[in-house]
Amino acid sequence: MTTVHDTAVTTLAGDLSVWPASTAEPRPGDLAVGGVPLAEVADRFGTPVYVLDEVEVRDRCRTYRDAFPDTEILYAAKAFLCRAMIHWMEEEGLGLDVCSAGELELAVTTGFPAERIVLHGNAKSPRDLESALRLGVGRIVIDSPSEIARLAAAVGPDGRQKVMVRVVPGISAGGHEKIRTGTEDQKFGLSISDGYAQHAIARILDQPQLELTGLHCHLGSQITSVKPYLAAVRRIVGLMARLHEQHGLLLPELDLGGGHGIAYRPGEQALDLTTLARKVRTELAEACAAAGLPVPRLIIEPGRAIAGPAGIALYRVLAVKRTGSHTYVAVDGGMSDNPRPALYGVRYAPRLVGRRTTADRAPVTVVGRHCEAGDVLANDVELPADVHPGDLLAVPVAGAYHLSMASGYNLVGRPPVAAVRDGHARLLVRRESLDDIRSRDVGL
């Protein structure tokens, strides 16, 4: 992702490459984001708390618009969604990619135009489809043959709904096997190689209520190489060519999904958007020219790459325990507010903030408060050797797949989200309270 970090990096000797561009150190050891000291955010809203830099989110939207000027850009709401985020996406000219009636209805009731929303899902519920049709969602991505008849019946004889088909191009890409979705033999999409995609498309063409606008694929998440996207373009254009030969079909849209990889720690590789945009555009034009097809409009669906680097998670240290050769730093959050290390082995780079220290750095493992041995937030990272209970730790790149994947484990309550901008912090999502938890428990 192209962002400008020169000022902040100079301030902190080059170690802020994965932090928001606004990050600075107004006083030694006191980190600020969006002009707001992180220690102030923690004191005001408590911990754990997520901090979201609004300007960073908006700048990343604009980076996508600049790199892909002729492309429809849909923000993948599953990464993180709240009413403010929806409002920012609308103002920045992005559409939305949603996966449930909940995400869809939150967007529409916030005022987001339904026609700029695409509904995904490998197993859409009756409520998902009912909400999509009632609210007038722009497109529905068909993920299985059984959806075709169900959707056509729900649309009714006098209605019409735009749809796409999610195809599986048979390409392995992504940072972990659990987030690779472009391969055969997994739950998403319809395979090109075994003919299921072509068969489903033929069935859709027999349904006058359904208007097929294009093909969709999503290769996976945390992809840092351009090559898999180019391979996907070639295979999907090949399918488009066969559909034109068989049905005289010219599809106007091609959705390459998202999965654009970001760096979670300094030195890690991220996907180069400028190179991606240039090479995908060239590959698409050349493949279509070779097949004698008009170039379809490109659609992409970034989520993590917009929200992830704009977020910081703040935790308070509760205990420091030395056992054998290991030092464990336990904080007041954990796998209930960030299950990704336990699920995917993700590695973070936490930092002590809120006080100055001259202590040497020492290897520690930052662990959560939950009753699981696997509740580890950051394994074998360096923190000041004098870290102690009451200290504040900040974890960058915490804006995506944290709150959206948070659970109610141990009934600790999900953290709040505070936005920072121009020296001010405001609450976007309040902390889940014991009263919230208790009110859902209606039986004895």
Amino acid at 108: V
DSSP 416: P
DSSP conformation letters of 352-374:
EESS---PPEEEEEEE-SSS-TT
DSSP conformation letters of 43-105:
HHH-SSEEEEEHHHHHHHHHHHHHH-TTSEEEEETTS---HHHHHHHHHTT-EEEE-SHHHHH
- Cis before 350? omega within 30: no
Residue 209 tokens read as 């209520």
Give yes or no: 99 in active site.
no
**CA angle, 13 then 317 then 81, to 5°:** 80
User: Is there a contact between 162 and 137 (Cβ–Cβ < 8 Å)?
Assistant: no
57's CB contacts (< 8 A; 6+ apart) are 85, 88, 306, 307, 310, 399
Element (H, E) at 119: strand 117-119
Q: CB count, 10 Å around CB of 248?
A: 7
Q: How far apart (Å, rounded) are the C-alpha atoms in residues 316 and 14?
A: 25
Catalytic residue among 61, 82, 217, 371: 371
Strand, helix or coil for residue 303: coil
Strands (E), 332-437: 351-353, 361-367, 376-384, 392-396, 417-421, 424-429
Residue 316 tokens read as 């308070």
User: Is there a contact between 230 and 276 (Cβ–Cβ < 8 Å)?
Assistant: no
β-pair partners for 118: 97, 139
Closest CA relative to residue 238, chosen from 246, 118, 184: 246
Catalytic positions: 371
